[in-house]
Structure 1
Amino acid sequence: MGRGKRIMSAVAVVGAGIVGASVAYHLARRGVSVTLLDRGPSPATGVTGNSFAWIGGCGGDWPGGARDLRESVGADYRRLETELADVTVRWTGSLTWTETPDGHESRLEAGRFWVGGSDIATLEPNLRNPPERAVHTPSDGGVDPVAVTNALVDAARTLGARVIHNSAVTSLAMSGQRVEGVWSATGFHAAETVVLTAGTDTPTLCEPLLAGVPVATPPVCLVRLAAPAGLITSIVACPDFEVREVRDGELLLTLPMAAGTAATSSEQVERNALRQVRTAFRGSDSCRFLGHRVCRPPMPAQGPVIGFAERDRSVYVALMHSGMTLAPTVGRLIADELVTGRPAPELRRCRPRRLAP
């Protein structure tokens, strides 16, 4: 492939999922010249579009540096709601429990509370067999992942970012030991810094610089159901599934799948999903199956991997779970690091191990 005409950009962001969209938006807000490249025909066509999109919800599991970012999640989403008209969060709170509830109340983090009996009945009056107690997190919410990503990309474009779709990045462009841009389906794109927010493609793209980033990709089955409006009032996470109302009359349900499981037929998924919901909730007999998808979100083994992959600052990695929860906070912090050159203390425990202090 010939190089053709070079188009200079201060920062090239690879991947227009929720994390890349947030990085591009926050950089553009700071006046940085940004090119956002994505393999799909529109934003959020990969893992982001198939996200359960539970904001704040990690079931209490915030590995590695994710824990240091948790307190900022709610504030950053509320900030986006004020900045971008098309960002709307359903702040419903969540109710979670496991088969063996933890008996040590002191282990709950701030903002999460043990509830039982009448409190559970008030939060989820249609539960057939409520647990003795559960964890209630009032600050949790849910979003439409595609709508939020589109809002961020559109705002970045309005602020001057260049957005290029159908432009799968194939490799980093190296000049000696330095990354000087990327090669993609639309040619060469020069950049002072490349930010890799390409999800499961990130370890492959940065492998020459950062070999062996451990990332699991467990399969998750997402099911959409038509349901009576208000059947479920919060985000419910029980041992067998997670479910939330994404809009009036529509539920989104996650069903676990064993790693390596063969593709499950639509009929099997339908039977399982309807059985789970009808067993769990009164008034659910009229629920109807609308469809399902299986996705494989990237889950770095030791928590988020966020930071420069080279000491010359030419390539930056942002790989995490859950991207939907963390993206507004991470986008803000990455933009601040790139603009000011000052490390963000909140990202200290997220650094790529090879370059960690």
Structure 2
Amino acid sequence: MNGPHNGPHVAVVGAGIVGAACALYLARAGARVTVVDRADGPGRGVTAASFGWVGLLAGLDEQDDDAFARRLEAVAEWRRLIEVMGSALPARRVGAIAWGDEAPAAGKLAENPRLRAAGIALIARAEIAAREPALRHPPPHAALAADEWAVETEAAAQMLLRAAAEAGARLLPGVEAVGLARAGGRAIGLDLAGGDLAGGDLAGGDRLAADHVLLAAGTGTGAFLGDHMPAGAIRGSDAVMLRFTGAGAAARFRGIVCGPEFEARTAGDGTILCADLPGPGRESVPAIAAETAAALRRALHGAEALHPAASARVARPWTADGAPVLGPVPGLAGASLAVLHPGVILAPWAARLLAASILEKAAVPAGLRADRRSLDPRP
């Protein structure tokens, strides 16, 4: 339910899925919200090159207890958001299966009571083949998470901002925020460059006045902070997103499939999306695309003519200790941070926490605050 718009004016930097979710939650809680993004529309940056896997199985072997607890809360928040927005949100419950060279590890995961309670189970070849008939050679076993979602990320950011606009928020596309406007140790708005700067909150044509500034600019966030954060606390982690076309109808994935050679799903437009990571000997995006295309042709029925159609290499926002950075900027009143990975999964959860922090002065958990010791990468 939308609140009255008599709350503080919050300027959000970044119209990716994190900024869009924050704008929606803030606007529905009664804030006046302005979203600034240098791109000409929502979700055009890292969000557009995101795989869109929302669930518990993604990166499960890399999560400690705290990260898993965040993921549980985040997936629950996604479900609530999907219930509220319904078919307006481009999200499909498709399920996910995963296997790898360490197949016994998948079995141990499936036997863990905590994970079993979260809906993750071990399935055998026959069930894998039934769930994913496109696979030529289903593995003997795989971990299954039936309640996983595929989100078309750019469209989702657009939908969230559209809903935020219906709740009173506004978007300034093509407007670059170049710095925080400050006075007396407090953020009082944003210094801007370019775009259509007309508007009642703009002073002198190049400054957006605001009661609070929320930085959701991914790896660009650090440029606004100066000495308010340790150098290197926010950095980029490269990822590659690949899109393939030309496969026959038989080559369609029904859900999300994560094997040793690819992490893939069929997008809403029928293309095949794959997420990958560059590394030693795998720095070239065209080479990674060719390698993945060959793996998909081997793995799928009807994929003989499959070929790369698009690719992108992006820097995902990462922190020195791997956990999100949410809430107040140390030593600078009126400014907050939203730096998190995986952004698509955590966005609505982070938006709820940040709306409460900004509008209700609710405390952010200590392990997520920007002043925690583990963010400083210096010895």
TM-score normalized by the length of structure 1:
0.88
Paired residue secondary structure (1:160):
coil
1:234 aligned to 2:262?
A: no
- Give the structure 1 partner of residue 272 of structure 2: 251
TM-fit CA distance, 1:104: 2.8
Give yes or no for contact 1:66–1:304 (8 Å, CA) kept in 2: no
Give yes or no for contact 1:95–1:235 (8 Å, CA) kept in 2: yes
1:59 aligned to 2:67?
A: no
How far apart in 2 are the matches of 1:112 and 1:215?
Answer: 32
TM-fit CA distance, 1:311: 5.7
Larger helix proportion, structure 1 or 2?
2
Identity %: 30
How far apart in 1 are the matches of 2:332 and 2:366?
Answer: 18
TM-fit CA distance, 1:220: 2.2
Give yes or no for contact 1:203–1:211 (8 Å, CA) kept in 2: no
- Give the structure 2 partner of residue 293 of structure 1: 312
TM-fit CA distance, 1:270: 4.9
TM-fit CA distance, 1:306: 1.1
- Give the structure 1 partner of residue 81 of structure 2: 80
How far apart in 2 are the matches of 1:260 and 1:46?
Answer: 26
How far apart in 2 are the matches of 1:163 and 1:219?
Answer: 28
Paired residue secondary structure (1:296):
strand
Give yes or no for contact 2:12–2:34 (8 Å, CA) kept in 1: yes
- Unaligned regions of 5+ residues in structure 1, if any? 1-7
- 1:276–1:338 Cα change, 3 Å: same
Paired residue secondary structure (1:104):
helix
Report which stretch shifted further, 281-290 or 140-149. 281-290
State the Cα RMSD in Å.
2.5
Residues 92-141 of structure 1, C-alpha deviations (whole Å, 9 max, x = no match): 11111222231534446232222222222222223233333221111111
Q: In the alignment, residue 58 of structure 1 is paired with which amino acid?
A: A
Given candidates 367, 372, 376, the residue that maps to 1:349 is 367
- Give the structure 1 partner of residue 147 of structure 2: 139
- 1:9–1:36 Cα change, 3 Å: farther
Spell out the pairing of 1:94-133 with structure 2 (5 A cutoff).
94-101=96-103, 102=105, 104-105=108-109, 106-107=111-112, 109=115, 110-133=118-141
- 1:88–1:180 Cα change, 3 Å: same
1:184 aligned to 2:184?
A: no
TM-fit CA distance, 1:183: 0.9
TM-fit CA distance, 1:261: 6.1
- Give the structure 1 partner of residue 180 of structure 2: 172
TM-fit CA distance, 1:160: 1.4
Paired residue secondary structure (2:180):
strand
- Give the structure 2 partner of residue 3 of structure 1: none
How far apart in 2 are the matches of 1:253 and 1:64?
Answer: 27
TM-fit CA distance, 1:281: 1.7
How far apart in 1 are the matches of 2:353 and 2:34?
Answer: 18
- Give the structure 1 partner of residue 18 of structure 2: 19
Report which stretch shifted further, 121-130 or 330-339. 121-130
Higher RCO (CA < 8 A, seq sep 6+): 1
How far apart in 1 are the matches of 2:122 and 2:371?
Answer: 36
How far apart in 2 are the matches of 1:199 and 1:222?
Answer: 17
- Unaligned regions of 5+ residues in structure 2, if any? 1-6, 198-205, 375-379
The list of structure 1 runs, each at least 4 consecutive aligned residues, that deviate by more than 4 angstroms after superposition, is: 259-263
Give yes or no for contact 1:9–1:189 (8 Å, CA) kept in 2: no
1:321 aligned to 2:363?
A: no
Paired residue secondary structure (1:43):
coil
- Give the structure 2 partner of residue 272 of structure 1: 291
- 1:324–1:232 Cα change, 3 Å: same
How far apart in 2 are the matches of 1:157 and 1:86?
Answer: 14
- 1:246–1:205 Cα change, 3 Å: same
1:33 aligned to 2:53?
A: no
Paired residue secondary structure (1:353):
coil
